[in-house]
Structure 1
C-alpha cells in the first residue's frame, strides 16, 4: 500500500517537491511512499526498527447464542480472546443471549442497548415494517456500544451478521481481518426471494410487508465481500460463499422419540406467515382433510385457518404427528425441524430451511402447495 500526497496550492519560495532523484553525494533516494520509506528518522512518527505491536487476541462481537456458535467459541477461542455480547443472558434470564462458557473478566456487554431492543420489539405488532425497523435499529445500537471493545491493536475480529453493516459503515472493521457468524442470507438475497415469491402470489401481502434501507443492504453486501470467512451451519447460506464458507454442524436437541402418529395429523412450526409457507400448508390441509398442530404464532390475520381443523400443541408438540411441514420461502433457524428429525418424525421442508438431505427429510420447492400435497400423500399412504 502507499500514501500519495498531492499539493494543490502555490509553492512557496525555495520549495522543492520530493523526487526520486539523487541525494547528497549523488546517492539515489526513494520517493516517500510510506513512513517506512521516507527516511526521516527524526520525525516524531518514526517508530524505529522494532516490530509493530499488535494484539494476539481475537475479539468476538456476538448476538444471539446459537449453540453452533457457542461450540465454535469453545473450540477456537484463545486464552486472551475477548467476548462482546449484548448482555449476560443467564443473569437477565434471557436464553437468547446465554452464551455458555463466557470467560470471566474477558467479556464486554451492551446491556442498555440490548434491553432497549427487547423492549422496542415487544411493543410492536408480531409482524410488519415497524417490528423489522425496531429489530434493525436495536442491532445498530448494540453494535455502536460493543465497538468500544476494539482497540487499534486488535486485527482479528469475529462479528455477528446482525452487527456487521453498522460496524462496517462506521469504519470499525477497516484494517482488520474479520469473519462473520452468519444466521441468514444477505438482506439483498432475502429481499429478492421475497420479491419473486410476491410476484408469483400477489395475494400473499405479507411477503412484501417490509424492505430494509437500501444503504443498509449495500453496506452488508460490501462487508460480506470483504470478509475473510463466513461461518454458518445453514447449508443454503454457506452455498452462496464458495470456498470462503465454513460449514458448522447443526446441533440437534437431545430428546426421545415422539408418540406414534394419530390419524391424519401434521404439525406446522410456523409462524403462520406467507414467508414460512403457511398458504401452502393451508391448501394441503384442506385438500387432504388434515389436522394441523400450529406450533407458532398467528400472523396472517383472523380467519386464516377457516376450513382447517387446527390444534394447539400439547406437552410435546410432536406427539401423534405424522409429519412436520415447513414449505418456507425464508427460514433462518430450523430448530423445530431439527427437533422433529431427532424425534424420528418425518419432515417436509425446502432448501431455504438450511438442512442437508438426510433420512427422514423430504425437500420440496418453497411455497409449492402441489409438491407439498404429493409429498404428504406418499407419507400418509
Structure 2
C-alpha cells in the first residue's frame, strides 16, 4: 500500500528492515494520522462523502481501466494473500461503486472507502512498506487507488492529492507513472472535476474494472512521471533470512470451494458427493429440522444458518391466507444468502451457488472477484415472468397467475449473475435448452423410489397442486365428457368450485391410490418433477409437457402446454394402451 511512508516516517536502513525501524515507522505514522485528522475536522477542509446516485448512469464513458486481480500466485501463501487482496477490494468497492461527485467537489479515496480494519471485513493482503511487500490487514488497496488515479487522468479530472510509490511493484502501474499509493489516513488520493462525474467499479473473476462517466472533459491530463526506481522486495521470495519479516512461500495447494446451498435434490447431492473435498465448505440452511437440507452428504466442513431457516419456517406457517408463497420465499432466500455470505472466507475464490440465492448474493457484492457455478432447478425469473404473463392473458379469471412478480432488481441481478457464471448446472432439460452454446452442464435426473401404485382403471393422478401454472385449466377442459376420475393433491387450488361437475377427488395426506391409469401434469412451469420420475420408475404412463424438464423416453407422452385438445387425446390413448 505505502512505500513512501518508509521514506517519510522510517529511519534509513542500510540493510534489511528491523524491528526498531518498524516501531519508528508505526510511531511516525500515528503522528501523521493525527495531523491529517486535525486538518480534516477543520470546518471547510473536510472532504464530503459522496452518495450513490443514478443521474449519470447513462452518461458517456470518459475512462475505463481494467487490471488483473491475480498476479504471481505461485505458492500457497502468495495465493492466500492475493485472495485476501481481492477480499479487501470487495470491501472497498462498497464505498466507490455508483457514487456521483458534483462539479467542483473533492473526491477523497479514504473518505469514501473508510478505514480498512477487520471488523469491516478486511483481511490480510499484500502491502508495500519500507521497500518490501508484506502482509497487513487491508493490503492490496493500491490496485484500486492506482486504477482510480489512472482513470481520473484519462477523464481529465484535476488531481488534488496524489503520492507515487517509491518502489516498483511487478505488474503495477508505477513504472509508467500511473500509480497512486494510499495509506490510512494521511496518504490520500483526491480529485475533482469541473463537471459532475460518476464512478463505477466492479470485480469480475479475473479483473478489477473501474469506469468514470460524465459529460465533457475536465482539464488536460498531465504527462506521466515515468519512474525507474528499484523493484520492491517480496517477503515470500526475497531470500533475506535475517529479516524479521522473512516468511518463505510453500508449494501451492488448491484453494477450497464454498458450496452455498439450501435444500438438496438427488442430482445436486450426487454432484456434491462426486466433487466436494474435505477442505471445502458446505454452507447450508440447517440440519436440525426439516428434510430438505439434511439430504446433503456429510463430506466437508459445514456452516449452517439455523436462525434464517427457523425464521423461514415460521413465516411460511404463520402467513395470512392468500399471501403469495413466492414472495415469502424470496424474502427468506435473501436472509439465507446474507447469512451464507457473512461466513465466507477470503480463501473462497470459487463458489457453487444455489439458484435461489444467486440474485441476493450478486446484489450484496459477495460474488465480486470470485468465479462461481450455479445449481439451477428452474428457469430464470425473467423467463418465468414471461410465461406467467402470457398465461394470465389467456386466463384472466385465475387468482394465482398474477399474484406475484419478483422486483425488477431481482430479475436484473439474476440475469447479470447468470451471465457472469463460469458454468450452469442442471438436470432440467427445459432449463438447459434456455441457454445457448451449451452453457449448461446437463446432469441425469437422480433415481427416485417408484410410486407404490399399480397400473389399471380409469383414474389419473394429477402430479401437483391444482393451479393454473401446473396446467389445471387445460386439465379441466380436457376432462369434460370423459369417463375418468382425477385425483389431486390437497393444498393450493384455483378456487373451491374449480372442478365443479367433474369427477375429481382430493387425496388425503400420505394417501396413494392402489391403481391408476397414469400420471398427468400439463404444466406451464414445473421445477422438480419428482412425482413424474417416480411414476416412470414404476412403469406407469406419464403425460407431461416439455416444461417439466424430463427427456423423451418410453412411457412418457409430451404435449404442448395449455393445449386441452392434445391433452384429451393423450388421456384417451393412455386408457387404450392396456
Q: In structure 2, the residue corresponding to 1:178 is in which secondary structure? A: strand
State the partner residue of 2:107: none
State the partner residue of 2:186: none
Does the 8 A contact of 2:522 with 2:544 survive in 1? yes
Does the 8 A contact of 1:318 with 1:340 survive in 2? no
Deviation at 1:17, TM superposition (A): 8.8
Deviations 1:321-350 (A, max 9, x none): 101111111100101001111111101100
Q: In structure 2, the residue corresponding to 1:322 is in which secondary structure? A: strand
Deviation at 1:48, TM superposition (A): 6.5
**1:215 matches 2:414:** no
State the partner residue of 1:340: 535
Question: Paired residue for 1:84, among 283, 287, 301?
Answer: 283
Deviation at 1:270, TM superposition (A): 2.0
**Structure 2 stretches lacking a partner, 5+ long:** 1-65, 68-146, 166-173, 182-225, 239-247
State the partner residue of 2:500: 306
Change (3 A) 1:77 1:16: closer
* Aligned-partner Cα distance in 1 for 2:388–2:358: 22
Matched residue pairs, number? 363
Counterpart mapping for 1:100-249 below 5 A: 100-103=296-299, 106-124=301-319, 128-129=323-324, 131-242=325-436, 243-249=438-444
TM-score, normalising length: structure 2: 0.58
* Aligned-partner Cα distance in 1 for 2:333–2:230: 45
Change (3 A) 1:196 1:38: farther
Change (3 A) 1:16 1:128: closer
* Aligned-partner Cα distance in 1 for 2:535–2:163: 76
Q: In structure 2, the residue corresponding to 1:292 is in which secondary structure? A: strand
Change (3 A) 1:293 1:43: same
* Aligned-partner Cα distance in 2 for 1:41–1:109: 49
* Aligned-partner Cα distance in 1 for 2:307–2:456: 47
Change (3 A) 1:17 1:114: closer
Change (3 A) 1:328 1:256: closer
* Aligned-partner Cα distance in 2 for 1:220–1:16: 40
Change (3 A) 1:294 1:76: same
State the partner residue of 1:291: 485
Does the 8 A contact of 1:341 with 1:360 survive in 2? yes
Change (3 A) 1:256 1:305: closer
Change (3 A) 1:164 1:298: closer
Change (3 A) 1:326 1:371: same
State the partner residue of 1:25: none
TM-score, normalising length: structure 1: 0.86
Instruction: State the Cα RMSD in Å.
Output: 3.0
State the partner residue of 1:62: 261
Q: In structure 2, the residue corresponding to 1:87 is in which secondary structure? A: coil
Q: In structure 2, the residue corresponding to 1:215 is in which secondary structure? A: helix
Deviations 1:293-352 (A, max 9, x none): 113424212111111122344766253110111111110010100111111110110011
Deviation at 1:197, TM superposition (A): 1.2
Deviations 1:113-168 (A, max 9, x none): 11101110122257653x22211100100111111222222111001111111110
* Aligned-partner Cα distance in 2 for 1:337–1:17: 66
* Aligned-partner Cα distance in 2 for 1:102–1:200: 47
State the partner residue of 1:22: none
More strand by share: 2
